[in-house]
Chain A
Amino acid sequence: MLRFITRRVLVGVVTLIAISIIVFGLFFAVPSSPAKVMCGKNCDAASIAAVETRLGLRDPIAEQYTSFMKGIFVGRTYAEGTAFEQRCDAPCLGFSFRNNEAVTSILGRTVPVTISIVFGAAILWLLIGVSLGMISALRRGTLFDKVAIGISLTGASMQVFFFGLILLYVLVYTSGILPFPSYTPFTDNPAKWAQGLILPWITLGFLNSAIYARLSRAQMLETLSEDYVRTARAKGLPLRRVYTKHALRAAITPIVTIAGLDIGASLGGTFITETIFGLRGLGKETVEAVSFLNLPIVVATVLLAAVFIVVANLIVDVLYAVIDPRVRLS
């Protein structure tokens, strides 16, 4: 088991290094020079050159990459020995082109918002989706099954902005049951934190639960026709135990994979949800940075999203091995 985990971690690290190289290439792939963007419209060649020197853009590419990576792990100093000298402590991801704010502090502000939205919603969609799907599978063909499938089809075919706006209209503007969503750090006031995020949770949670309901229903039905489920019944186990101990554990395995990847991907930003509910999360920050060619932020968010996915993958792999002993072999 330890060897299995070590190997997975190593693969994850290699993946991240590869991604960091590609992401770093973004600096050079964009049509406009970062120095021009930073300097603004009315810049002469001399000041552009000055900016380039300050940012180290004139160094060889390999050297730029090493100082970028060095910045992340030990910190770096921009334009050392000049009037513009600027210290950037580890983990250094550079400074925003727009207001010179450290990228790390921008992330520190926006990432908790996205994490709060995603984890709350994920708990909802897993709870609702998986239990609906499992019950549907066990009561296949009944009214419950048909209604659940109908609801999940509706959910799966709806869009976040549509459903989210309806919820906003009904629960906030018309009835005033809920306040307009806002973000309060959990550490400041947990009740307010939950109250401010409940709408995005419901929106994302309901829509995603649709997919999970369908998936778990299909998985459970498949598992119920497995030979080992028949064996469990042939042993004389009560049906409840056959379902919970023998069928559920096998049916849940693929759901763990998809949930891990979904959560990992969502942590990279839930732009539409954040926009509808006016929450300044990672998704919104990224999209803005892209439209302003604010490269340090773009690079940082893309890298962070990659980290989330790689880590989610790693967790999924480990969970998989915990659930299924056959995985530990390979």
Chain B
Amino acid sequence: MTAPASAPKSPETTDTGAYLRVSDLRVQFPTEDGVVKAVDGVSFSVERGQTLGIVGESGSGKSVTSLTIMGLHNTKRARISGEILVGGRNVVGMSEEQTRRLRGRDMSMIFQDPLSALHPYYKVGAQIAEAFKVHHPNASKSEAKKRAIDMLGRVGIPQPARRADSYPHEFSGGMRQRAMIAMALVNDPDLLIADEPTTALDVTVQAQILDLLEDLQREFNSAIIMITHDLGVVAQVADDVLVMYGGRAVEFGSVEQVMRRPQHPYTWGLLASVPSLHGDAEADLVPIKGNPPSLINLPTGCAFHPRCRYAGRNGERSFTDVPELHQVKERGHLVACHLSEADRTKFYAEDIAPSAGVAQ
């Protein structure tokens, strides 16, 4: 896993081993109010066995990115450019039938709310068997069912043969998400996209699900994209982290780099709004002021500048130039910010580090 491939000045742009490679992806939705630039020039890649965490607020473009990889957006309404290579095949511009064959077999997805993502009218086992059978047309019904039960057992559902005949509403939240994972992995995909897989679950269950994903990743050696706004989740499971804001990548690095030595004021904001177990218990959380930007009418210059307390510290560039991702001193760590590296290090050490959550 390396830096985003098309990032300017990035020294590491060639990793032929990556299973998924997204280059300069742009997704726009023309609407009556204007063009929504949901994703604006994002690049990254993930290897088998590795996990990329994509972090950002709602509307940062993280979910659109994943739906675009899966080809699940409305192709008629979205304008997509760039390149998405899944195992070497470019899915941008592929026909519905071609992406359909990849979906569920080479790449699969689990969603935020397993209750609404599972069909309420069909038995859990039947839904998993259906996912198997569609890519194994020669498999018999009983083979598919056996495979479904086997998968349910592997994701840790007790008495899988009996539970396969239950309906989703008879499962607990954690069990449902396990069933979703079983369904996503039934065809042994090389890429698994998990879109906020723990957000709708109880805290106690969240860790179990993340552990399960890690175990299964070791077993199946798949590449995982973990989309989340929860930095705790990222810290636990990701190898690399991509921070998105306003449809663009603002910071990229290994989990160690981004969590311990974050460079972008937005990342600082995310870290400061997470409670710390080790810091001062009395210290208040520091929320990021303001709201995520409108994707139709992004602020000029750096999209984050209206919410950034350091905007304008480096001339007027924050308000006029869109910052590109560039390499910081540390290899593989990229940031899109106009502040000088010295300033960033200083501000972080003085203002953020003392109170920030996860990393401290």
Residues in A lying within 8 Å of B, measured CB to CB: 226-228, 230-239, 241, 246, 249-250, 323-326, 329
Cβ of A125 to closest chain B Cβ, rounded Å: 25
Known A-B contacts A237-B134, A239-B96, A325-B167; A232 and B121 likewise in contact (beta carbons under 8 Å): no
Contact A227 B113 (CB under 8 A): yes
Known A-B contacts A230-B72, A325-B167, A326-B169; A236 and B101 likewise in contact (beta carbons under 8 Å): yes
Residue total for B at the interface (Cβ-Cβ under 8 A): 29
Known A-B contacts A234-B70, A236-B103; A326 and B167 likewise in contact (beta carbons under 8 Å): yes
B-side interface mostly: helix
Residues 96-132 (chain B) with a chain A CB within 8 angstroms: 96-97, 100-105, 108-109, 111, 113, 116-121, 130-131
> Cβ of B97: which chain A residues have Cβ within 8 Å of it?
238
A230 to B100, CA, bound (A): 12
Cβ of B136 to closest chain A Cβ, rounded Å: 11
Contact A325 B121 (CB under 8 A): yes
Contact A250 B121 (CB under 8 A): yes
A323 to B122, CA, bound (A): 10
13 contacts between A and B (CB under 8 A): A227-B111, A227-B113, A228-B120, A231-B119, A233-B103, A234-B70, A234-B104, A234-B184, A236-B131, A238-B100, A238-B134, A250-B121, A329-B169
> Cβ of B130: which chain A residues have Cβ within 8 Å of it?
235, 237
In the complex, the number of residue pairs spanning A and B with C-beta atoms less than 8 Å apart equals 73
Contact B116 A235 (CB under 8 A): no
Among A228, A230, A234, A241, the one with the most B-chain Cβ atoms within 10 Å of its Cβ is A234
> Cβ of A235: which chain B residues have Cβ within 8 Å of it?
103-104, 108, 130-131, 134, 183
A-side interface mostly: helix
Contact B116 A226 (CB under 8 A): yes
Measured CB to CB, the nearest residue on chain B to A241 is: B134
Contact A236 B121 (CB under 8 A): no
A225 to B117, CA, bound (A): 11
Determine which of A231, A233, A238, A323 lies in contact with B121 in the assembled complex, contact meaning CB atoms within 8 Å. A323
Known A-B contacts A227-B113, A235-B131, A237-B130; A325 and B103 likewise in contact (beta carbons under 8 Å): no
Q: Within 8 Å of chain A (Cβ to Cβ): is B135? A: yes
> Cβ of B108: which chain A residues have Cβ within 8 Å of it?
234-235
> Cβ of B70: which chain A residues have Cβ within 8 Å of it?
234
Q: A230-B72, A231-B183, A234-B109 are in contact. List 18 more A-B contacts (CB 8 A).
A: A226-B116, A227-B116, A227-B117, A231-B180, A233-B103, A234-B72, A234-B104, A236-B100, A236-B105, A237-B134, A239-B96, A249-B121, A250-B120, A323-B121, A325-B121, A325-B169, A326-B169, A329-B169
Cβ of B124 to closest chain A Cβ, rounded Å: 11
Measured CB to CB, the nearest residue on chain A to B186 is: A235
Measured CB to CB, the nearest residue on chain B to A239 is: B96
> Cβ of A238: which chain B residues have Cβ within 8 Å of it?
97, 100, 134
Contact B96 A230 (CB under 8 A): no
Measured CB to CB, the nearest residue on chain B to A226 is: B116
> Cβ of A249: which chain B residues have Cβ within 8 Å of it?
121
Cβ of A224 to closest chain B Cβ, rounded Å: 10
Contact B134 A228 (CB under 8 A): no
Among A235, A249, A325, the one with the most B-chain Cβ atoms within 10 Å of its Cβ is A235
Contact B120 A230 (CB under 8 A): no
A325 to B117, CA, bound (A): 16
> Cβ of A230: which chain B residues have Cβ within 8 Å of it?
72, 111, 117
The 3 A-B pairs at the shortest CB distance, nearest first, are namely: A236-B104, A227-B116, A236-B103
Cβ of A5 to closest chain B Cβ, rounded Å: 19
A249 to B119, CA, bound (A): 10
B165-190 interface bits toward A, Cβ cutoff 8 Å, 1 = contact, 0 = none: 00101000000000010011000000
> Cβ of B117: which chain A residues have Cβ within 8 Å of it?
227-228, 230-231
A323 to B104, CA, bound (A): 27
Determine which of B100, B120, B131 lies in contact with A325 in the assembled complex, contact meaning CB atoms within 8 Å. B120
Cβ of A28 to closest chain B Cβ, rounded Å: 49
Cβ of A313 to closest chain B Cβ, rounded Å: 21
A232 to B113, CA, bound (A): 15
Known A-B contacts A235-B103, A235-B134, A239-B96; A228 and B119 likewise in contact (beta carbons under 8 Å): yes
A227 to B169, CA, bound (A): 15
A232 to B109, CA, bound (A): 11
A235 to B121, CA, bound (A): 17
> Cβ of A231: which chain B residues have Cβ within 8 Å of it?
111, 117-119, 180, 183
A189 to B155, CA, bound (A): 63
